[in-house]
Amino acid sequence: MLMIGLAGTTLAPSEHAWLKAPGVSGVVLFSRNYSSRDQLMALVDDIRDVGGEDMLIAVDQEGGPVQRFRDSYTRLPPLCTIGAVYDRDPEEAIHLAEEHAWIMSSELRASGVDFSFAPVVDLARGNAAIGQRAFHADPAITAELSQAYVRGMHLGGMAAVLKHFPGHGSVAVDTHKATAIDPRPLDIIRRDDLVPFAEGMAAHAEAVMVAHVIYPEVDPQPAGFSSRWIKDILRGELGFGGAVISDDISMAAAGAAGGVAARVHAHLDAGCDLVLACFPDVVDEAIAAVQGRAAAAPERIAALRGAVASTWDSLNDNPQRERFIARIAALHAAEGNPSA
């Protein structure tokens, strides 16, 4: 039920108990957990030695401003650079989306990480937190590139997580810092923001991350606390059968539900399968909150585990990878390296 954050680059004694606790399904890694590729791979092994082989390990490795592991990993440009290519050469942009995704996913899988919370399928319409992370403002273009990105992740042995449902791109406020309210009616959100999600699901994305944004014309609760959004619209209307993942419960906008335990329960009651407790200072309370609660459907969680992975030696000997990295590097340079 929970994916938790750890404090540093090695497991602390207190974190052993967390990993063995009922209700902990996985770990979310951050830059604070990374110093080198060898260190990361040792940490991944230690997490599974303590928590079991089924423990999920995930990270945000989108590229651009959100890439937790940088040294020894390909520096990935933000998704907006691929959207810019689409405006002049759609076919080339589709190839670049697949290649970007394959590089990201194959490198993480070679390191033992199961999945990245990717791709961002929000529309590029001015949100402070999304910014360069979105492909494009146009729903149809975003949908096409999102499908390509999901394909590339699958080729790299990784499940895809579409975020942030039902669309975080059209409200200016950053939910990390404040409450975000999107006043648009449901028919407009269906027409625009839901299009990339529907197409990503059609490409067999395994999971969806739900936004902390409030859409008062649909529900007074943030989407991640809303059974209307999760059970009625995502599951019922869109027919999604994969895993539903909350955004981080430590974000300011999650405070609408109350304290840590209330946030965890609100997400689970609304229909989330996994709840993110990304900062160590909330983990004890989050673990206490899930005691006695029923676990998510095991097949949804199992679908997030990484497929059989290439080794780093085999990746380094792969001419296709060299070509893809050169093309991504050229894209980075051509777009003025906006993420530097």
Selecting among 193, 219, 247, 273, the annotated active-site residue is: 247
Name the residue type at position 260.
V
Angle between helices 283-290 and 13-20 (to 10 degrees): 20
Selecting among 16, 95, 176, 265, the annotated active-site residue is: 176
- The DSSP output letter for 230 is I
What is the separation, in whole angstroms, between the first and last Cα of the chain?
36
Q: How far apart (Å, rounded) are the C-alpha atoms in residues 55 and 25?
A: 6
* Residues constituting the chain: 340
Between CA 273 and CA 130, with CA 143 as vertex, the angle to 5 degrees is 70
Between CA 24 and CA 282, with CA 162 as vertex, the angle to 5 degrees is 30
Q: How far apart (Å, rounded) are the C-alpha atoms in residues 11 and 151?
A: 34
Q: How far apart (Å, rounded) are the C-alpha atoms in residues 141 and 97?
A: 12
Q: How far apart (Å, rounded) are the C-alpha atoms in residues 102 and 97?
A: 9
Q: Which two tokens stand for residue 115?
A: 């999945």
Q: How far apart (Å, rounded) are the C-alpha atoms in residues 221 and 269?
A: 12
Between CA 176 and CA 267, with CA 171 as vertex, the angle to 5 degrees is 50
Q: How far apart (Å, rounded) are the C-alpha atoms in residues 155 and 105?
A: 8
176 is catalytic: yes
95 is catalytic: no
- Which residues are catalytic, by number? 176, 247
